[in-house]
Amino acid sequence: MEIGMVFVVGAGTMGNGIAQVCAQKGISIVLNDISQDALDKAVKNINWSVSKFVDKGRLSESVETIMGRIQTSTGLDEARNADLVIEAVFEDLKVKQEIVKKLDEVVGDKTILASNTSAIPITEIASASTRSENFIGLHFFNPVPMMAAVEVIRGITTTDEAFQYGADFVRYIGKEPILVNRDIAGFILNRINMLSNMEAYRLVEQGVATPEDIDKGMRLAFGRKMGPFETADLVGLDVQLMAYSSTYEEEKDPRFYPPTILRRKVLAGHFGRKTGRGWYEYDENGNRKD
């Protein structure tokens, strides 16, 4: 596989990580954002992260060589020369579709278009494009430089070639593709995680166990780095509720109906670390109180 340039739209948490892993594999990157401030921060963050990998001896090239592959832009024009465009902006269908429409006017016929959406069906985003056959989902996990799995999602109009391209690209950047053969809400890994998290919340709701004990058990028995409640406080209970509710709306399957305890906590503003309280309590420095 030969990849000349990848154009990444959105220079937030995920866009930064995607740009970094591509640059580390020798791919030229144009990182795009509507905010110059976000682009400036992105370059600093990526530089810091690449330096850490170089210091630990995990990369053979210099920071300057890797960073030299990353250009930034507030416009979409350079997407013209891209082999692959990866959209990683806010989780908002309208914003994503607007970008797809604009990209349609710029990119070449062979360019593969991808979205890093966490939950929006790929077909829905692709429907804004006149070349939806070239559209795939590439769902990276956070933090991108550390996480080896990437879900490759086939929309209803995606061709075999585009789907294969996604899997080959993921291997090319040193990660493992997890193939999602049908465009289903929550894809695979989040879908499984969602159900297991909701079961954990229900067990707390029913007074069967405490969050502390469930987290400890999941770490010790299943080798997880963090239990479901610790993770939820980091991700944000509000963010989780949105993802679970949208999956329920899409599927109308009672298994995905968010547990009352989660809905109440969000109503009370107990979002997790960012509000100082979620399943656990935190001090002003974000450290657990107990």
Ligand X SMILES: NC(=O)c1ccc[n+]([C@@H]2O[C@H](COP(=O)([O-])OP(=O)(O)OC[C@H]3O[C@@H](n4cnc5c(N)ncnc54)[C@H](O)[C@@H]3O)[C@@H](O)[C@H]2O)c1
Catalytic residue among 132, 139, 197, 270: 139
CB of 212 to ligand X, least distance (A): 24
CB of 213 to ligand X, least distance (A): 26
Residues that bind ligand X (CB under 6 A): 9-15, 32-35, 38, 88-91, 95, 99, 116-118, 140, 142
The rounded distance, in Å, linking the Cα atoms of 195 and 12 is 28
Catalytic annotation present for 47: no
Helix (H/G/I), strand (E/B), else coil: 272:
strand
CB of 210 to ligand X, least distance (A): 26
Catalytic residue among 32, 49, 115, 118: 118
Nearer to ligand X, 10 or 258 (CB): 10
Catalytic annotation present for 151: yes
CB of 37 to ligand X, least distance (A): 8
Beta bridge partners of 5: 28
DSSP annotation string for 135-161: EEEEEE-SSTTT--EEEEEE-TT--HH
Catalytic residue among 151, 230, 246, 270: 151
Which residue intervals of 92-188 are DSSP H helices? 93-104, 122-126, 160-172
DSSP annotation string for 198-260: HHHHHHHHTTS--HHHHHHHHHHHH--SS-HHHHHHHH-HHHHHHHHHHHHHHH--GGGSPPH
Catalytic residue among 16, 116, 129, 190: 190
Nearer to ligand X, 45 or 65 (CB): 45
Catalytic annotation present for 270: no
Q: Which helix (H) or strand (E) holds 16?
A: helix 13-24
Catalytic annotation present for 139: yes
Residues with catalytic roles: 118, 139, 151, 190
